[in-house]
Structure formats: structure tokens, C-alpha cells
Amino acid sequence: EKKFEFAIFVKSNIYNNYLYIFEKTGYLIKMNLNLDNAQVFKLSEAVDKISFMGNGKFYYGDKILDLL
């Protein structure tokens, strides 16, 4: 079991058999659909930017990140 005690989830998307969650303080969490094997990526430049997920991509500000 993986706990993210202080995480505030603001966006989520399922793509390519993975759950992607963007956290309010700038972290992108990727885990399989069994909710294990979590990977955490720091995206500090995405904080306070307009953002959304769709079509296998995470859009924030004027940037596009491919969800793999």
C-alpha cells in the first residue's frame, strides 16, 4: 500500500493502462491500474498554471508533456 499523506490531487487521467495524477504542489504521480509501482515526477513549473490532461498528454502553461 502506498500512501501520499500530504498530497492534494487536482487532476487525474487514465492512459495506456496507467493512472496519472497531478498534485497541487507540482508532482505528477504515475502508477499502474492495480495502484502499485508508483513513480513520482517533480513538475514545479506546472504549479499555478492552467493545466489539463487529455489525449495522452499533460498540458500546462505553454508546455506539453507526453504521458508514456
Predicted TM-score of the model (pTM)? 0.82
What is the CB-side half-sphere exposure of residue 65 using CA atoms within 13 A? 17
Residue 15: all three cell numbers together: 492512459
Which pLDDT belongs to residue 8? 82
In sign, the C-alpha dihedral spanning 16, 53, 48, 4 is negative
* Residue 1 pLDDT greater than 70, yes or no: no
pLDDT tens per residue across span 8-64? 888 999 999 999 999 989 999 999 999 988 999 999 899 999 999 999 999 999 999
Which pLDDT belongs to residue 2? 67
Which pLDDT belongs to residue 9? 85
